[in-house]
Structure 1
Amino acid sequence: MRFNFTFRKTQPDTVNHEGAAAFTLTPPLELYAAVATASLSDQFYEQADTRLTRLRELVARNDPTFVAQLAVYAREQMHLRSVPLVLAVELARLHRGDNLVSRLVARIVQRPDEITELLACYAQVNQRTGVKTLNRLSKQLQKGLAISFNRFDGYQLAKYDRAGAVRLRDALFLVHPTPRNESQQVLFDQLAAGTLPTPYTWETELSALGQTAYATPAERAAAFREKWETLIASGKVGYMALLRNLRNILEAGVSAEAVVEVCATLADRTAVARSKQLPFRYLAAYREVKALQNGHVSAVLAALEDAIAHSAANLRGFGPETRVVVACDVSGSMQQPVSARSKVQLYDVGLVLGMLLQSRCQHVTAGMFGNIWKRISLPRGPVLGNVDEFYRREGEVGYSTNGYLVIEDLRRRREVVDKVMIFTDCQLWNTHLNGTTVAREWAEYRRTVAPQARLYLFDLAGHGTAPLDVRAADGVALIAGWSDKIFSVLEALDNGGSALTEIESITF
């Protein structure tokens, strides 16, 4: 994975889902790519249960400490919730002899509902049905969950005590946490008895309002408008909830003062950092708001642009003189939703990350490829607006996966650049059947035009292969994931590290 500057010709050892020659990744790199892109929902090339099976197989092929480090990295740096729990459960099944699993569980379980999700995952992986079958719980999982239980207060326990395959009450009886003091014993007793006080949250407030009878629709609308204004002023609506309810807030007709407060929160640099939102969440909100007929739409869209700009504010290694190519894969396989409940596609994720990168570069060529490669010149500032412009024009290039054209174009123009960034699912091939590949074009470009150029493959699907041998090819690296954290990986690569450097430095 480190950059090498002596090209060693290696032969492909597999084929990708398109049937094109490809290279397998090392077990740590393949697990990293699979985890960083996991939604555990169906994808174009891979069903959810297939991805889960592959994750489990990859855990068995990797060092337990690395698996634990990766789980922590996925939870704390990439802000993923479900897949770190899967790694912990599988590690508990395979690893014995120390307290690695209990320390891992205590580290990655950061919300009470993750306790129940982990137990549900444990039941599924171990083919158990019903809460009663969980009484033979792994001792290390049990110890880690007991530590987690002791971190949560009454508000958190009540907020996340939801119906499901496993309830928090069930988890309490399975884990048997020792209360720190008498007040926590009272909380545990209330949880067991189902008498925890109902917490004040925006959800409970709106739910209660929705169950109220109103004389007229106008009276109901006025009540919801007033409630939203009260909630916004109280600061009780968290950042994610605010982002996901922008349409509801605007359609409720809240006051201009309330909208100003919403926009200020959305665009606040500290709030953005604390919220740990994946960049494509801003695109989903942007599209919801843009479709509205409301006088406040333009202000909210501007706030969302400010918010996503903060995601890459500290991007390093891209001075005014750095020449960068940003190429986005818009092939058919990239036009799949990131999860069953999302309208955002892999295609969109690539565009968002690509336009974020463009927003921080002074010297940039951006474009998209399918059947053909097309350069598109857009202003450097608006990230989300540029994504929508790309989206509007995606049909102009077709839907194949001819990524080699990006590099072939540079070679034929004899255009010297420093960094080529390709956002893709790595299922690249050559529909023109002219005998060339990404690997060949890159080797020739480095040999004849730009010996110091570097190629970064941003893997957005994690299928386990790459169109080049990232272990041996000149100046090539693979980075995986959907978060702005990928830009930190770029810095590690430029400093002589690898995509795994930060993961392997984690201690706990």
Structure 2
Amino acid sequence: MKFNFLAKEKNNKSNIVNHENAPAFSLTSEYELYAAVVTTSLNASFYEKDTTRLQRIQSLIKKSNPVFVAKLAVYARNEMHMRSVPLVLVVELAKIYSGDSLISKMITHVIQRADEITELLAYYQMANERNGVKKLNRLSKQIQKGLAVSFNKFDEYQFAKYNRDGVVKLKDALFLVHPKAKDKAQQAIFDKLVNNTLQTPYTWETELSQLGQVKFYNHIEKQKAFKQKWEELIDSGKIGYMALLRNLRNILEANVSGSHMLKVCDYLSNEKAVANSKQLPFRFLAAYREVKDLNFKYTSMVLDALEDAVMASSQNIKGFDVNTSVVIACDVSGSMQKAISPKSKVMLYDIGLMLGMLMQSRCQNVVSGMFGDRWKIINMPKRSILANVNEYYKREGEVGYATNGHLVVEDLISRKEIVDKVMLFTDVQMWNNTYTKDSFANSWNRYKTIAPNAKLYLFDLAGYGQSPINIEKNDVYLIAGWSDKVFDVLNALEDKNSALNYINRIEL
């Protein structure tokens, strides 16, 4: 099915304002849903809801094409590497859609970990306000079918690793959906799940947890024991990439040997390991900030490895040759200094800087900078992506805290500079704090008269549901999300297309 996303829902845009009470343009339901979904951090267990965002997503699902909602869920899970919100899309769409296999197909594409089976059911009973003993009675047939197929994706280790004592247990799910084993070996695993005889999986957490229960004679003995344990874990090769990222401080503090630190750094910077890890870019930044000020002898080695890892992660980003001129502008306004979730230290600000510097590293003819009250060009070397982000972070106060994005374009106009692409990494809440007649939309429209072939790309990092400019004309594109995968969408865009056409290509 082909959707004409930009042609429908011609709303009266003249009365729309953003959160700064500045003129804005509405988005279609599908576009607003896309932006809201890929910029949402819901708690993994669903039990602490961001009610405002969740309610808006629920409302937009009802207004959107069901096939698009299904494809968006698959895109969010498999390309943007999001876990919670795709399950929300599954359950909410199942409430209002029935009749064919769309929901079951959607589930088989979305479920990638064994615990997502139970998380989906936990959200299902909460979203449908099920109470009493049989909270999951009368389960949707299409959800049941999709989960039954999903059970056959996992082996004993994966079931054992995620066999947790949650609101819904894997055994409960097994009894509920009645999966048909694909062979005798799979049936044996199902039997073990029922009888609670799954083999306890080896994990680095259990190893360290057991060591933490031991009473040591003194601190020196304890430190020696943890050093030995970390070295054993590193040698085992069984620590996952994300676990390693999150434990770099602990490993440095354990004072492991140089040969073991070399193994850690080699793994961190290995191109294949980086690709397989599917880490969101800001995870590398969080790890970098955690260790950069530590006074250990191998800290510099770890920082170099993290830079190498980020460079490896950016290799698949299709940059532009020396003949393609690019302006990259990062929003460092006050509204960007908002955490992506209540328990996170990562801010929208961090994500914007990280994505901006990733893109900058791949462009040959590029000018980069940041904007708030003012627009300031701050060109950086291509090699040190994390160090560049850190440098921007230290200098954000130099431009103030408004969202005068129009100044990026006004600078081009005043210098009569013709460029091919202008990219803004922002929450798109543009406003003019000098209250002159200049607006972002007016500035771009004027620039197009001197640079008719220029294209504007707004990377929406917040998903509030409006745009500072009409994305239906004048070569304006809105792309949303926190992953480096947004650059795949950028590369796929052509005239008259939108980011939603990229999602629509997904096969169910």
Q: What TM-score, normalized by structure 2, do the two folds share?
A: 0.94
Task: Say which of 105, 108, 111 aligns to 1:109.
Answer: 111
Which of 360, 370, 388 aligns to 1:368? It is: 370
Structure 2 residue aligned with 1:484: 484
1:393 to 372, 392, 395: 395
Aligned to 1:493: 493
The one-letter amino acid of 2:73's match is A
Provide the secondary structure at the position in 2 that maps to 1:479: strand
Give 1:56 deviation, angstroms. 0.9
Which range moves more in the overlay, 230-239 or 335-344?
Answer: 335-344
Over 3 Å counting, the alpha-carbon distance change for 1:246 and 1:495 in structure 2 is: farther
> 1:301-320 counterparts in 2 under 5 A?
301-316=303-318, 318-320=320-322
- Alignment partner, residue 382 of structure 1: 384
- Partner residue of 2:343? 341
Q: How far apart, CA to CA, are the structure 2 residues paired with 1:214 and 1:192?
A: 39
Alignment of 1:159-174 (within 5 A): 159-174=161-176
- 1:131/1:170 contact within 8 Å kept: no
1:186, distance to aligned residue in structure 2 (A)? 3.0
- For 1:131 and 1:147, how far apart are their aligned partners in 2? 26
Query: By how many angstroms is 1:495 displaced?
Result: 6.9
SS at match of 2:320: coil
SS state at 2:428 partner: coil
CA-to-aligned-CA distance 1:48-90 (integer Å, 9 cap, x gap): 1111111111111111111111111111111111111110011
Match of 1:16 in 2: 18
Moved >3 Å (runs of 4+): 10-13, 494-497
Is the contact made by 1:40 and 1:51 (CA closer than 8 Å) also made in structure 2?
no
| 1:464-475 map, 5 Å | 464-472=465-473, 474-475=474-475
Return the alpha-carbon distance in structure 2 between the equivalents of residues 89 and 482 of structure 1.
Answer: 23
Question: Contact 2:90–2:106 at 8 Å: present in 1 too?
Answer: yes
Looking at structure 1, the residues matched to 248 and 304 of structure 2 have their Cα atoms a distance apart, in angstroms, of 13
Alpha-carbon displacement from aligned partner over 1:128-151 (angstroms, at most 9, x marks no partner): 246631122111111111111122
Q: Deviations 1:320-353 (Å, cap 9, x if unpaired)? A: 1211111111111110112233211100100000
1:459 aligns with 2:460: yes
What CA deviation, in whole Å up to 9, does each residue of 1:382-409 have, x standing for no partner? 1100000000011111111111111111
| 2:319 and 2:362 in contact (8 A); partners too | no
Task: Look up the equivalent residue of 1:233 and give its one-letter code.
Answer: D
Matches within 5 A, 1:57-456: 57-129=59-131, 132-316=134-318, 318-447=320-449, 449-456=450-457
Q: 493-502 or 173-182: which moved more?
A: 493-502
Q: Cα offset for 1:260?
A: 0.6
Match of residue 44 from structure 1 = none
Q: Which runs of 5+ in 2 are unaligned?
A: 7-11, 44-48
Check whether the contact 2:38–2:480 (CA below 8 A) recurs between aligned residues: yes
Inter-partner Cα distance in structure 2 for 1:352 and 1:13: 34
State the alpha-carbon separation in 2 of the partners of residues 110 and 363 from structure 1: 40
Contact 2:333 2:403 in 1 (8 A): yes
Structure 1 residue 181, shift from structure 2 partner: 3.2
- Cα deviation for residue 176 of structure 1 reads 1.9
Cα distance, 1:101–1:414 mapped onto 2, change above 3 Å: same
The one-character-per-residue Cα deviations of 1:287-329 (angstroms, maximum 9, x if unpaired) are 0011211111111111111111122213335101211111111
Aligned length: 496
Whether the 8 Å CA contact 2:373–2:400 is kept in 1: the answer is yes
Write the distance in 1 (CA, Å) between the matches of 2:57 and 2:423: 27
- 8 Å contact from structure 2 (residues 20, 430) kept in 1: yes
AA at the equivalent of 2:439: T
SS of residue matched to 2:491: helix
Give the distance between the partners of 2:148 and 2:468, measured in 1 at CA.
45
Higher RCO, 1 or 2 (CA under 8 Å, sep at least 6)? Answer: 1
Q: Is the 8 A contact 2:13 2:26 kept in 1?
A: no
Q: Distance in 2 between matches of 1:178 and 1:493?
A: 42
- Counterparts of 2:340 and 2:81, CA distance in 1: 15
The answer for the alignment partner of 1:7 in structure 2 is: none
Q: Which amino acid aligns with 1:62?
A: S
2:39–2:481 Cα contact (<8 Å) kept = yes
CA–CA separation in structure 2 for the residues paired with 1:174 and 1:355: 48
User: Deviations 1:463-506 (Å, cap 9, x if unpaired)?
Assistant: 1100001012x111000001111111111114764212221111
The one-letter code of the counterpart of 2:318 is R
**CA root-mean-square deviation:** 1.9
- The CA distance in 1 between the partners of 2:375 and 2:420, in whole Å, is 19
Q: What is the CA-CA distance between 1:192 and the residue it aligns to?
A: 2.4
CA distance in 2, matches of 1:37, 1:382: 26
Distance 2:262 2:150 in 1: 38
SS in 2 for 1:432: coil
Which AA in structure 1 matches 2:263? E
1:225: how far off?
1.1
TM-score (norm: length of structure 1): 0.94
Q: Deviations over 1:107-164 (max 9, x none)?
A: 1111111111111111121112466311221111111111111221111111011122
- Structure 1 pair 496–271 and aligned structure 2 pair: CA distance change class (3 A): farther
Per-residue deviation, 1:13? 4.4
Measure, in 1, the Cα distance between the counterparts of 2:270 and 2:255.
23
| Matched-pair contact (CA < 8 Å) for 2:16–2:26 | yes
Change (3 A) 1:506 1:134: same
